[in-house]
Structure 1
Amino acid sequence: MPLTTLLDNRWVASRWPKERRQDGVSYTVHNTVHKALAGIADEDARFAKILHPPWHEKSKTHRWTQDAAKREVGQRVNHPTTVQEKINKVHDLLEDEKVAARVATDLLRQPQVVSEVVEDQTAMHLVNRAQVDRSHRIAAQRLEAVPQPTKQAIQRAREQVRHNREYIDLVGACATFVAAAGQIMPTLRGHSFTEEERERVHANLARVRGATEWIGQAIDTGDLSLDEGLAALLRGE
């Protein structure tokens, strides 16, 4: 017997005095159940738990099994039954990134799976981000193969596209703020503000004014630098 196995068994035995151990099951199940429940730190809770086995659907009796004991202490079960247990099992099998990528590709060919994925905003954001990153890699590889003059022209075009996109983002941010304010203000008719609420709103309005002045100055002069006072204001300090 390996020394580690011997020490492990000795630890499990130390958690269960002889009079607290449960008989009537095979050694394998017996040992696994006691080992799993040995992880319950509170001694009284541990001894009480083993006296109340859960319902076993197959045998229609209350009994301990390896999976039941593992389930009680949050360990991975050998035969998952719930959705979350099955998900955990799948995650264990997909630790290899190449295997996970192959399985994900196969699953996304199923219409029902795709419809579920598009409902998850985080998943869709990651997919879109991956598509953009892939496009950038392909563009960079193709750019390496063209002559230098053409490469420079392409680079200038890409910078112009980036500039246009950033310009649209800036205009959109301003429009979003104005639209949001236009929707919120009418709902405040008749609302009484506390002193703390007024102070908080005025503090945030000062940040808005500081941001708009910075934007206007940057557009007019091309200087994007911030003085310390404005930087602190925008951080909310």
Structure 2
Amino acid sequence: MPTLVLAGGRDTTSRPPLGRAVAELIPGALFEVMEEEAHQPFQEAPDEWNSRVDVAPGDPQGPPGGAGFADRAGARGGRRADLTPPEGKSRWTPDEAKRRTGRQVVKPVTPQEKISAIHTLARDEDVAAAVTTDLLKRPTIAAKLPEQEKVRVVEEFTRDESVATTAATNLLRRPDVAFRAMGDDTARHQVNHAQVEPGRQAREHFEQTSPVTPAIRNIDRSVEFLDLVTACHAFVAAAGRVVPSMRDRQLGEDERTIVHENVARVRATLDWIETAVDTGKVDVDGELAKLLQGE
């Protein structure tokens, strides 16, 4: 609300510097001095007092031309200050004054005022966490979140490894989610790697710590041979079981694309196996590594 602080130049009780200090504490306030008056200028010089605090140009109580407080405040701020109470109101209320000057109100009414009030209260981390939790428990609110925002919220919540593990486990228990997730080559590779990795680590630990490791190295070669042959047999058996069942069945374009990609991966793997068997070299070049990882 536009504010004018008037001081008497000869006031020895509330000296002008005190009035100036008060004005400096009020955003946008004007400070003026009635040089010839003392402590009660509104009684000592009522006409001049009224002329300084007039509220509209041409007001009978104001000076000629209406160059009173409202116009002086407007001249300083770039536009005339409007001191008229809000429509339908006979006087200003604290919230109406704050609303007019763009400050936060005590009792919010409009959606934007309510949002501002919530933001102010939620500056405290504990309050923000409690409010967010309560809001997300309301299905209608959660449903209004854009998909990208939902993804971002899930990513934020799953930065904690234990939370991410629990969430991923629960999601992969849902058949439709698991099916879609395994359609992503990187996700499928990571799952396969996670299944194989514990066995590899256990074997590595055994080889590093067991005193009988040297004695069984020759047996290991036989085990590797058996593992390789078993993998080939398993693949052939699976293909022999699945392919005949596809008689007269037409796959969709996306399904054919996925099958062709996996057939290419199988061919590359078979070439790799033949090279390893014939030469003992198991090095993987960059292209083959990307293909095996589904990149």
TM class, shorter-length: 0.3 to 0.5
Structure number with higher helix proportion: 1
TM-score, L = length of structure 1: 0.41
TM-score of the superposed pair, with normalisation by structure 2: 0.34
- The higher radius of gyration belongs to 2
